[in-house]
Amino acid sequence: MAKQIDYKQRAMPKQEPFERVKNFDEVALGYTETLAQEEASRCLGCKRPFCTQGCPVAVDIPGFIQCIVDGDFAGGIRKIKETNALPAVCGRVCPQEEQCEQVCVLGKKGDPVSIGRLERFLADWEAASGATETPDIAPPTGKRIAIVGSGPAGVTVANDLALLGHEVVIYEALHDAGGVLTYGIPEFRLPKAIVKREVEYVKSLGVKLYTDYIVGKTKTIDKLGDEFDAIFIAAGAGLPWFLEIPGENLNGVYSANEYLTRCNLMKGFRFPEYDTPIKRPSNVAVFGGGNVAMDSARTALRLGADEVHIVYRRSRSELPAREEEVENAEEEGVIFDFLTLPIRLNGNEHGWLTSLECLKMELGEPDDSGRRRPVPIEGSEFIMPVDAAVCSIGNSPNPLIPMTTPGLEVGRKGNIVADEETGKTSRDAIWAGGDVVTGAATVISAMGAGRNAAKDIHEYLSKK
């Protein structure tokens, strides 16, 4: 008898909105075993699974889901880890609705399978069971690889090359590993204990990690080249963009990087236990509409703001953030000002931000990207009282390495130029991947780039 198709996704338990805006604990609580098995049972186990094609690292989705149905959780996590070194992270932060879940066949008539939540379930089960399996490591090859940056791209390459028997050293500029996972994405969305666990796991494979080490400054790429057989650059994005409107240097105006780094990396939300201060303003405007903007806005709420606005110049359907996080932000009371353009920040005589001047927009003709271009409505200026503004409109790649590495080809926007398939740069024995190549993208695409580069580096080293 044909299987009865269940079109209804199992909801994941969450902290109640009124509770969670008062703490920094994780919002989503994860599936219970029963919920996970119910949700897993919805999967049709497609012979030619679209979902896997939608995943940048091609996780064997029907495979691991079947393991959940069978109650073989250890088998399930093993299957995921064949291609994805950070399932606890990806299950939480991948934009699944644009990747694996977007193409799930069930999505045509009902809800797609909650692939991300199931992935997270297995990763959390493994951590809770304490039985993390270490895969076999190939015999030492005697080859040494230096990795610049400990974000998802760097960690993936370290993982893959360590398993192949190479000696891997990661250099990280900050005092904690994890890249954006540590300094950018807040605790309530991705607990730092999870990032630590994943980094510790990679270290358990024999990978060495030096923090407080700024490649290009502490040691140049060329000096590292004397000590290593290959180098992988995964320095991520840096240099935050500002809107270039008047008043952006007023006190109370932050880049999202500053705001989130103060809170996450420096633990400003626990000031004065931790020494780094963070302001607790009452009216906050956040510029932008991506994950970074959602994170900044929700952080501001948790720091006690009365009113937090997301000021976005397009409309809701164009928000680039993960749908789930937009919903979370709405539930928590973030106010969305769509089709609104910030034009000026005003301050008092002491240099403190007091208000924001905006212009209303309407949707005009479609632009090159096919999205209807927002155009200002004349005379629609209005003023919003704010005592903090957070700019979350993107950033360009970190400039330190291009500035100090002659011959390394750099694109117009400062990104390192690397082959799309292999990550190979213009310089011999140097690869690059992740945000430093593509500009701000996603965790999983950075990992995908790392995976491909690791393959190519291994091939190169094997021939050497």
Partner 1 sequence: MFQIIERRMIVPNLHELVVEAPDIAQAAQPGNFIIVRPDEYGERTPLSVADWDREAGTVTSIFMQVGGSTAKLARLKPGDSMPSCAGPLGKDTEIENFGTVLCVGGCYGIGSLYPVACALKEAGNKVYTLLEGRSSYLLYWQDRFAEVSERVIEVTRDGTAGYKGHISRLAEILTLEKIQPDLIIVNGCTFLMMKTSKVTEPMGCKTIVNMNPIMIDGTGMCGVCRLTVAGKMKFACVDGPDFNGHEVDWEEFLKRRQTYNPEEVHPLRKSGCASHF
Ligand X SMILES: Cc1cc2nc3c(=O)[nH]c(=O)nc-3n(C[C@H](O)[C@H](O)[C@H](O)COP(=O)(O)OP(=O)(O)OC[C@H]3O[C@@H](n4cnc5c(N)ncnc54)[C@H](O)[C@@H]3O)c2cc1C
Binding residues for partner 1, per CB under 8 A?
A: 173-175, 183, 211-214, 217-219, 238-240, 242, 248-249, 251-252, 254-255, 257-258, 261-262, 266-267, 271-277, 279, 350-351, 395, 398-400, 403
CB 150 within 8 A of CB 179: yes
DSSP character string of 290-341: SHHHHHHHHHHHHTT-SEEEEE-SS-GGG--S-HHHHHHHHHHTPEEE-SEE
Q: Does position 234 bind ligand X by CB under 6 A? A: yes
Selected binder of ligand X within 299, 340, 442, 452 (CB under 6 A): 442
CB 405 within 8 A of CB 224: no
Q: Does position 184 bind ligand X by CB under 6 A? A: yes
Which one of ligand SF4, partner 1, ligand X, none is in contact with 70 (Cβ closer than 5 to 8 A by kind)? none
Q: Does position 236 bind ligand X by CB under 6 A? A: yes
User: 3-class DSSP state for residue 172?
Assistant: coil
* Residue in 100, 102, 69, 105 with CA at minimum distance from that of residue 83: 100
Which one of partner 1, ligand SF4, ligand X, none is in contact with 151 (Cβ closer than 5 to 8 A by kind)? ligand X
Which lies closer to ligand SF4 via its Cβ, residue 59 or residue 361? 59
Binding site for ligand SF4 (CB under 6 A): 43-46, 49-51, 55, 57, 59, 61-62, 84, 90-91, 94, 96, 99-100, 104-106, 113, 115-116, 119, 444
Which one of ligand X, partner 1, ligand SF4, none is in contact with 248 (Cβ closer than 5 to 8 A by kind)? partner 1
User: 3-class DSSP state for residue 234?
Assistant: coil
CB-based contacts of 153, cutoff 8 Å, min separation 6: 179, 232, 234, 236, 433, 434, 435, 436, 446, 447, 449, 450
DSSP character string of 79-112: HHHTT-S-HHHHHHHS-GGGTTTTS-GGGGTSPP
Smallest distance from partner 1 to CB 195, Å: 17
Smallest distance from partner 1 to CB 200, Å: 17
Q: Does position 302 bind ligand X by CB under 6 A? A: no
Which one of partner 1, ligand X, ligand SF4, none is in contact with 62 (Cβ closer than 5 to 8 A by kind)? ligand SF4
CB-based contacts of 177, cutoff 8 Å, min separation 6: 150, 155, 170, 195, 199, 209, 211
Token readout for 414 is 């400062």
> Tokens 């075993």 identify what position?
33
Q: Does position 295 bind ligand X by CB under 6 A? A: yes
Smallest distance from partner 1 to CB 253, Å: 10
Smallest distance from ligand SF4 to CB 177, Å: 20
* Residue in 200, 189, 185, 188 with CA at minimum distance from that of residue 265: 185
User: 3-class DSSP state for residue 356?
Assistant: strand
Q: Give, as ranges, the residues between 151 and 170 that touch ligand X (CB under 6 A).
A: 151-154
Distance CA(137)–CA(382), nearest Å, equals 62
Q: Give, as ranges, the residues between 73 and 112 that touch ligand X (CB under 6 A).
A: 93-95
The length of the chain, given as a count of residues: 464
Which one of ligand SF4, ligand X, partner 1, none is in contact with 434 (Cβ closer than 5 to 8 A by kind)? ligand X
- Site residues, ligand X (CB under 6 A): 93-95, 148-154, 171-174, 179-180, 184-185, 214-216, 234-237, 260, 291-292, 295, 322, 398, 400-401, 434-436, 440-444, 446
